[in-house]
Amino acid sequence: MNKKSILVTGGAGFIGSHLVRHFVKKYQDKYYIINLDKLTYAGNLENLKDIENYDNYKFIKGDIKDIELVNTIFEKYNIHSVIHLAAESHVDRSIENPLEFVTTNIIGTLTLLNAAKKHWKNDDDNVFYHVSTDEVYGSLGETGKFLETTSYDPRSPYSASKASSDHFVRAYSHTFGLNTMISNCSNNYGPYQFPEKLIPLIINNIVNNKTLPVYGDGKNIRDWLYVEDHVKAIDQILHKGKYNETYNIGGDNEWMNIEIVHKLCDTVDEKLGRSPGTSRKLITFVKDRPGHDRRYAIDSAKLKSEIGWLPETDFATGLEKTVDWYLNSQDWLENVTSGEYLNYYKKQYEQ
Ligand code: NAD
Ligand code: TDX
């Protein structure tokens, strides 16, 4: 059978590596997966070691902003669809250095859209799928949830750049007739997440007896989804969703940050045989993130009713799997934190 080529961008990152693994293994006879990734501090080929020799998989190191490279990939591999994840993804870094977020997240997306527009002619089933975030909708009060129809109100340089890239994707479908899909997902957690994000950072610091920085009063709320459930949602939307539509993806799983930190302290203490309460003493309330969004909550009723997706991993199970993975992946942690990340965080937290 002739395999269709799918270009996945950012496949060496956290969500991208789970997505690449899922697609390469599940669709061995159907899709040839090409993973284009620049390997920034957040991208790591160790995340994909187990599938690197599959014959329906190819890795290409490169930048999504590289017009020539992107066009060559479209031509050489006859790209049928794109699942676009490559991005600068960390809100704190976007506050430090917004320009990098504009170039990668906006201009990078535009570069891919232009290539798709150029190469896809008269073929009804090419799709440009943009993996986006719930942060484009802004911040909620104590009640309510984000719907697909909620107005965009991004508040950080990161979310402004993702909102802009969403707008460009919609503009290309409206103006040029490109088949597109967008999904806006809540906070993901699970193995291979770079340890600058809340959950892996806290686990890593607990293990190393370092302070646990909680921003502001710790009562900001996020809706957490196990990364593999996100990947399954993307798979189902790609295959069953409608062109030029948006789907919200969430876990119906809201927690205050401080509650998560408490859970992690207690779980890791138990697993490491430390006496109860040991790690909670490491919690330090630090200066709040500028413009810190208070609450995110996703209404994924559309995805559930139209596509039939449901999250499969409950939070207790997902969190335990995640803690176990980090406790057993000290080499990976050392490897990914030995470079630029440490310099960045030295500036943030270490005196
Ligand atoms: P990540 O930071 O772990 O990975 C990003 C990947 O993109 C890395 O492998 C990096 O090397 C690559 N990359 C960055 N700039 C690039 C460039 N110019 N060219 C090519 N590759 C480049 O991010 P993640 O958490 O896996 O997020 C993936 C996508 O999902 C992002 O678009 C993000 O906005 C979105 N998203 C993330 C979450 C979450 O909770 N992590 C939730 C919703 C949506
Ligand atoms: O050290 C910390 N202390 C702390 O209190 C860190 C890193 C975070 N926090 C807080 C800030 C947030 O309220 O924890 C919450 C989660 O923070 P992050 O892990 O940085 O995630 P968030 O800012 O919510 O954004 C994430 O979810 C949506 C991803 O980074 C985005 O890429 C995604 O789009």
Ligand 2 centroid–CA 142 distance in Å is 19
Instruction: Tell whether ligand 2 has an atom less than 6 A from the beta carbon of residue 111.
Output: no
pLDDT exceeds 60 at position 288:
yes
Residue 10 in contact with residue 43, Cβ under 8 Å? Answer: yes
Strand runs labelled E in the chain: 4-9, 31-37, 57-61, 79-84, 127-133, 180-185, 187-189, 212-215, 221-226, 245-249, 254-256, 283-286
Mean pLDDT computed over 33-53: 96
Each residue's pLDDT tens digit, 291-332: 999 999 999 999 999 999 999 999 999 999 999 999 999 999
- How does residue 351 score in pLDDT terms, banded at 50, 70 and 90? very low
pTM for the whole thing? Answer: 0.97
Q: For residue 199, what are the contacts with CB-CB under 8 A and spacing of at least 6?
A: 189, 193, 260, 264, 319, 322
What percentage of the chain's residues is helix, strand, coil (to nearest 5)?
45, 20, 35
The residue type of 180 is T
Distance CA 2, CA 31 (A): 9
pLDDT exceeds 70 at position 348:
no
Each residue's pLDDT tens digit, 144-190: 999 999 999 999 999 999 999 999 999 999 999 999 999 999 999 99
Q: Which atom of ligand 2 is nearest to the CA of 261?
A: 5
pLDDT exceeds 80 at position 344:
no
- Strand 79-84 to strand 57-61: parallel, antiparallel, or no bridges (unpaired)? unpaired
CA dihedral 150, 151, 154, 155 (to 10 degrees): -90
Each residue's pLDDT tens digit, 216-252: 999 999 999 999 999 999 999 999 999 999 999 999 9
- How does residue 121 score in pLDDT terms, banded at 50, 70 and 90? confident
Mean pLDDT computed over 68-74: 98
Provide the pLDDT for residue 169: 98
Q: Give percent of the chain above pLDDT 70.
A: 96
Provide the pLDDT for residue 10: 98
Distance CA 140, CA 296 (A): 6
Q: Which ligand is nearest to the CA of 105?
A: 1
Residue 49 in contact with residue 74, Cβ under 8 Å? Answer: no
- Report the pocket of ligand 1 as residue ranges, CB < 6 Å: 9-10, 12-16, 37-40, 42-43, 63-65, 85-89, 104, 108, 131-133, 162, 185, 187-188, 194
At the fourth CATH level, the homologous superfamily of domain 4-189+224-249 is NAD(P)-binding Rossmann-like Domain (3.40.50.720)
Provide the pLDDT for residue 347: 65
Mean pLDDT computed over 49-60: 97
Domain ranges of the chain: 4-189+224-249, 198-221+255-290+315-349
Residue with CA at minimum distance from ligand 2 atom 2 = 198
What pairs with residue 212 in β-bridges? 283
What's the CATH class of domain 198-221+255-290+315-349? Answer: alpha beta
Provide the pLDDT for residue 338: 84
Q: For residue 31, what are the contacts with CB-CB under 8 A and spacing of at least 6?
A: 3, 4, 5, 6, 23, 24, 56
Ligand 2 centroid–CA 186 distance in Å is 11
DSSP for 186-231, written as a single string: -EEESTT--TTSHHHHHHHHHHTT--EEEETTS--EEEEEEHHHHH
Average pLDDT taken over every residue of the chain: 96
